[in-house]
Structure 1
Amino acid sequence: MVSNPYQKIRIEYHILQSFPVTCLNRDDVGAPKTAVVGGVTRARVSSQCWKRQVRLALQDFGVKLASRTKHVAPLFRTACEQAGASAEQAEACGTKIADLLSDDTLLFISDSEAASLAAYAAEVGFEADKLKDKELAKRAKKALTPATDALDIALFGRMVAKAADMNIEAAACFSHALSTHKVSNEIDFFTALDDQAEEPGAAHMGTLEFNSATYYRYISLDLGQLAASMEPDDIRTAIAAFTYALYQAVPAARQTTQSGASPWDFARVLVRRGQRLQVPFDAPVKAKGDGYAAPSIEALTTYLDKKERLSGSLFGKLGCYDWGLDETFSIDDLVQALQNHVQ
């Protein structure tokens, strides 16, 4: 058994990010999502919402994404055609592979995996009835190449109910982003005018809910999990792309009408071995006339420093980097510092 030198080593991102008037993540009635924490209402952006934007942003940093779709049969059909199947054979095999692996839910699959499954279909003469689910799962798992075309599968994980051998544990863990302080949603009343109107007055009236908040985002990246399927150079590439994507990604909701384009205010990024540590912000931060960002930074660093002292050797700190206070320490410097932990 090959030892994993990065086992239980994680990069933990503690990020503070302030937004003015926005509705970054809507609930079922179109209002900004909220949660009650510490007895008061906080603004909330779900982990799934921000995670998707991070995944899409990875493409800006040289990462080729896998496909996450319900429509997997056409994907497998194309792969079979490229492997030499006739149109009729490709249709039958593509449908059969999809039926064996998918239960009408989203399936995460990479191009290398699809090609491997098509190669298996070719081995059995593109006879759909000869395809076996266990062999499909085994071939797909063996063909998975996160560094080439499936880093998002390695980062965000995969569960395939009908083919458990394809399951992948996620290396990245996202919390729901929560405001560090009490928030009350507000209502924007708006009107629209008709350019061709013959009478004065609004042609349309409506309301939208919004809020403003300083959000705390907690994300951890398990280097040991990445090392299980990637080489050190690939892990360094993954760290860079993931960190840049975390910095750049912002939820897409209402960006044309309530632009939310604010970058990080502050981040403490820890490289640690051991149990994950998230800041609860149970006591809501008070603005005291100076906004919420500054007191949130103080509350965040004070909490983490205290937990480090109390945890002693169990804190397992290998590195600690504060971004946002020292203007000579850029996001590029942070990325390089984190990459240096992988040899």
Structure 2
Amino acid sequence: MSELAPSQIESIVAACRTNAAEASAALGRAIDGEYSIEVGQAVPLESLTPGTSWAVSGLAVVLVVGNQAALFVIPGSSGIVPSWCASPDPTGTSKLTTLAQELGMLLLPEDLMPDDFKAAQIKNLWGGIQRGRPAEGAIAVPIALKGEGKSADCLLVWPLKASTQIVGANPAASETSEATAASPHSASPENAANAATTATTATAAPDRSASANPQGTHKAAVAAGTEAGRAETEARRAESSAAPRSIGGKPAQRRRPTRIEDLPAYTRSLLKIRVPVIVTLAEKRQPLKRIIELGPGAIIQFDKSCEETLDLQVGDHRIAVGEAVKVGDKFGLRITSMALPEERFEPLRPAQPGR
């Protein structure tokens, strides 16, 4: 894969102009409206001044390619950025993520497909650009966004060397600080005991000595330096910091996490696991005799209409349905609805006397 560089002006500008209509449609779906895009001439970033156009709050779309990033910004002063972007609900977050993904495939050429992407509203767009640490010779492409009686002077800037600093703090640094704050030296004995009990309960083969001496077991796990020891350590630290304390003699209620950032560090690490995502076009059962007879030119007819939605599966579980779309020259799936989990009913049996 190629890396973002100032020398790639021609290919990036060409991709922006070729996919301008599709990028406009992607923006329209995310921020609700019909817009058009006009791509200007690329200029050195250092030739621009903050002015009033970009030293304002607005929408920042970060497209990470390797160790660097490109940044697309839409000033909020234009009135194009919806108010919900400042504090999006789960649906809004999904819209912004989808927008970032689509723009990454449309504004950058095929050999620069983003490894990661994020969209969020920030208080100062120019400040976000500077936090991203533009590389020497960084390029800016003015992009005019018009529609719904409004217009915005947007920018596509690359390459930036600190992509994680543009819309917020480095997640890795946050996890490190959380783990440090929850270390056994700063945790209370009460929390340490609660954490050890939780970790022991979740273990398939519990160690009774760990329940009796949680701090000693914790230190031994760290000293061992094994993966299991480190995982157990993170679990205990997270549980120790999250364990409810008693208030006025009554146990405090554990606060239920409402955001991914509120989850313990060891739980957030599970979100990095890669799983296969499968889109099922259609399926049917066939006798083995028919399978053996298949060859080049054979056609298998399915009962499913070409207008029907497609199923999205993760780990053999159907999680959503959507419609096939074309993103650049690639195949994509636009989610139209989420699949609800299957309901299971169990009979309620009356309590037996004497039990």
Larger RCO (alpha carbons 8 Å, 6+ apart): 1
TM-score, structure 1 length as denominator?
Answer: 0.20
TM-score, structure 2 length as denominator?
Answer: 0.19
